[in-house]
Amino acid sequence: QVQLLESGGGLVQAGASLRLSCAASGRSTFSKYAVGWFRQAPGKEREFVAAMLWSERGTYYADSVNGRFTISRDNAKYSVFLQMNSLKPEDTAVYYCTMEFRSSAVLVAVAKEENWGYWGQGTQVTVSS
């Protein structure tokens, strides 16, 4: 069973940066997983933020964060990161780390929440204006 633990959230002012981290427990096959980030703002549905597939198959971003956020991974440390720059108040949300093993469903529709199987508990990011 994969367990994911996010960290790095906090309260920042607009224009600031934050780096989220996600540690995955006990998966020697980590490099064969797609990894991603979703977020959920108060009163809204969870939405796709960014994803990185296995074996350098591609990196994807939501239009709202493209150019400001960068997803990365360290396969040796079973970790995923989300570098968030130029933060805006509308980025305020709980951010969730997610993983899925080499899934054709993720390959076809990376932004669909139901295609991802493993989820962390989330970390709160609050951006003040």
Q: Which residues, at least 6 apart from 76, have a Cβ–Cβ distance to it below 8 Å?
A: none
Confidence of residue 1 (pLDDT cuts 50, 70, 90): confident
- Which one-letter amino acid corresponds to residue 99? M
pLDDT score for 119:
97
> Could you report the per-residue pLDDT of 80-90, keeping only the tens digit for each?
999 999 999 99
Q: Taking the CB of residue 26, how many other CB atoms lie within 10 A of it?
A: 9
The CA dihedral of 103, 109, 112, 115, to the nearest 10 degrees, is -20
Mean pLDDT rounded to a whole number for the chain: 95
